[in-house]
Structure 1
Amino acid sequence: MQEKKKKAPIVKVMSFNIAHGLGMDGRVDLERTAEVIEDSCANIIALQEVDRYFSDRSSFMDQVGWLSERLGMYAAYGPNINIAPQDSRRSNHQYGNVILSKSPIIFSENHLLTQVYCPFGNNEQRGMLETVIEIEGSYVSVFNTHLALKEDELATSVDEMLMIFKNSHFPKIIAGDFNAAPSSIHMQKLHHRVKDVFLKMKRGDSYTYPSPYVSSVSGEVFQPATRIDYIFADHYVEVIQVATIKTAVSDHLPIVADMILTNVKVNDKVRAAKVHITV
């Protein structure tokens, strides 16, 4: 009897810059963030601007652990800012990217990207979190990043990201806040290696920043004006549908994509890889 071919798994991926839970009303409320994630029914979530014992702006809360427990998901964290506290008994003040998953995360590594120093402006350390997730016996590499606003640093970061992608042997999904419009030459360079799933579905007008808000002065309603949040995938991933979620729980709108993953054989090197997931 001929063995029935295994059906490729379907995943829903979200990318969401949560601004440490700071809503457009000026309140920090991570429960509202969790509800948006939960209502999306996404099973892989890439979050940017997540605090872990960072400062009083988020009440020194471990937002990674809280979201993981609240949503019942595995979590991997990539702290790009990691400051030792004055009191050695306390945990480091951290800020960075998170990947949450309903399926097991079997490998995690945070890649710090090269900084381009500027005497004026933001010199924040940027990074890209890499994970390998096991879904119904298949494996997918999921990357999450939050890139710089500076043109020269953005160019360097994209080149470094493309080099990192070469080392993955599984279907690739890349999500994050890229701080660049689709017409940017840096985004065009990415398009040569991976597909922008919103462009693939002819939804390039799905703006994500800033979230809709009402001016406290004039009462005028402002709508998102640009698209800087993305989900990319390689040719092993088939895109079914995409959407932007309307919400005011952050200054960015979350985006989601339903995708089918091509089955890939188990890689013994990945099975043997040391898991270093900081949750």
Structure 2
Amino acid sequence: MKRIATAAALLTAALAAPAALTGPAATAGPVASAGPPPVALTVASYNIHAGIGTDGNFDLDRTASAIAATGADVVALQEVDRHWSDRSEYRSVVDELARKLHMHARFAPIYSLDPSGPGQPRREYGTAVLSRFPIAEFTNHELTRLSTQDSDAGPQPMPGFAEAVIRARGALVHVYSTHLDYRGDPSIRRRQVTETLDVLAADADAPRVLLGDFNAEPGAPELDPLWTDMDDAFAEAGAGEGLTYPAESPEKRIDYAAVSGQIEIRGARVGATELAATASDHRAVVAEVVTAR
């Protein structure tokens, strides 16, 4: 009789269970994650001067060591050659760096010129993104530029503004690598900032990281519109002065890591080692960030 009573009790409990699972109480607690968990990232911007150091020597092993020393998960590069000229031995700088560092790479040429000879690859120069995480999407956007290859050409739309969508532990982070105009007249940079904000606005709901050589110091009026949408990581949480150029004895902060409101800044720094001071004519700027849930 005891066994029959126990079986009856179990049957009663089983019959009651579906009502408990399908009733209002089933939806009272969390049933699914609201989104991917926060992800910590180290990001860096580095103008590598085509792999040429302050001694005038092309040395990709040194460049790779300088990038590795940042500890960055994602690195935006500027002044990147791919079979460009003898200054970088006509080598594909971006591809070799990716292999040396075991990182994914995408390249955004500003210039893509005819080969130096029959059967040779195209000569290209631009920006790039290196990432330890997979790159889900990539776009080479245009900005208004003055050509360094044609002195008679006026301002015109040209590519070289890289956007990589990084798949980092379930989060999709939009990372941009840019190189703004270097001339003393800020008018082209002003146009480039406006166009940059238009590109960033298309991804307004996503976490965004803008990295690059802006060729202007933080107080430059042409950069002001950027800071209405993005936060300057070094200004918010930097250690030291953050000067990046010229590398051997820096006097200016012209290299940046900027983030959108979906990203928390934990810290920012510029390298102070001999390698950081000699591997390029710029020092890299590095930021520690966390994506918000």
Same fold (TM over 0.5): yes
Post-superposition shift, 1:123? Answer: 7.9
* Alpha-carbon distance between aligned partners in 1 of 2:123 and 2:289, rounded to the nearest angstrom: 35
- CA-atom RMSD, angstroms? 2.3
* Alpha-carbon distance between aligned partners in 1 of 2:112 and 2:166, rounded to the nearest angstrom: 25
* Paired position in structure 1 for 2:266: 240
What letter is aligned with 1:166?
Answer: A
Compare CA radii of gyration and give the structure with the larger one.
2
Contact 2:244 2:250 in 1 (8 A): yes
What letter is aligned with 1:147?
Answer: L
Among 152, 158, 178, the residue aligned to 2:187: 152
* Paired position in structure 2 for 1:211: 247
What letter is aligned with 2:129?
Answer: I
* Alpha-carbon distance between aligned partners in 2 of 1:123 and 1:52, rounded to the nearest angstrom: 24
Runs of 4+ in 1 over 2 A off after TM superposition: 1-7, 115-127, 202-205
Change (3 A) 1:20 1:88: same
* TM-superposition CA deviations, 1:199-235 (whole Å, max 9, x none): 11155831100012xxxxxxxxxx2111100000011
Among 233, 248, 252, the residue aligned to 1:226: 252
* Paired position in structure 2 for 1:130: 163
Post-superposition shift, 1:112? Answer: 2.2
Post-superposition shift, 1:7? Answer: 3.5
* Alpha-carbon distance between aligned partners in 2 of 1:176 and 1:63, rounded to the nearest angstrom: 18
Change (3 A) 1:126 1:226: farther
Under a length normalisation based on structure 1, what TM-score does the superposition of the two structures give? 0.84
Unpaired runs of 5+ in structure 2?
1-28
* Alpha-carbon distance between aligned partners in 2 of 1:87 and 1:28, rounded to the nearest angstrom: 22
Unpaired runs of 5+ in structure 1?
213-222, 264-279
Task: Please state if 1:200 is matched with 2:200.
Answer: no
Matching of residues 1-279 of structure 1 within 5 Å = 7-85=37-115, 87-116=117-146, 127-150=160-183, 151-168=186-203, 169-201=205-237, 203=239, 205-212=241-248, 223-246=249-272, 247=276, 248-263=278-293
Contact 1:126 1:147 in 2 (8 A): no
Under a length normalisation based on structure 2, what TM-score does the superposition of the two structures give? 0.81
* Alpha-carbon distance between aligned partners in 2 of 1:71 and 1:116, rounded to the nearest angstrom: 33
Change (3 A) 1:19 1:258: same
Count of aligned positions: 253
User: Aligned residues: percent identity?
Assistant: 32
Post-superposition shift, 1:36? Answer: 1.4
* Alpha-carbon distance between aligned partners in 1 of 2:166 and 2:120, rounded to the nearest angstrom: 31
* TM-superposition CA deviations, 1:92-125 (whole Å, max 9, x none): 1011111000111011111121135796999895
Contact 2:190 2:223 in 1 (8 A): no
* Alpha-carbon distance between aligned partners in 1 of 2:69 and 2:32, rounded to the nearest angstrom: 34
Change (3 A) 1:83 1:237: same
* Alpha-carbon distance between aligned partners in 2 of 1:44 and 1:166, rounded to the nearest angstrom: 21
Is the partner of 1:209 in helix, strand or coil? Answer: coil
Post-superposition shift, 1:81? Answer: 1.2
What letter is aligned with 1:127?
Answer: G
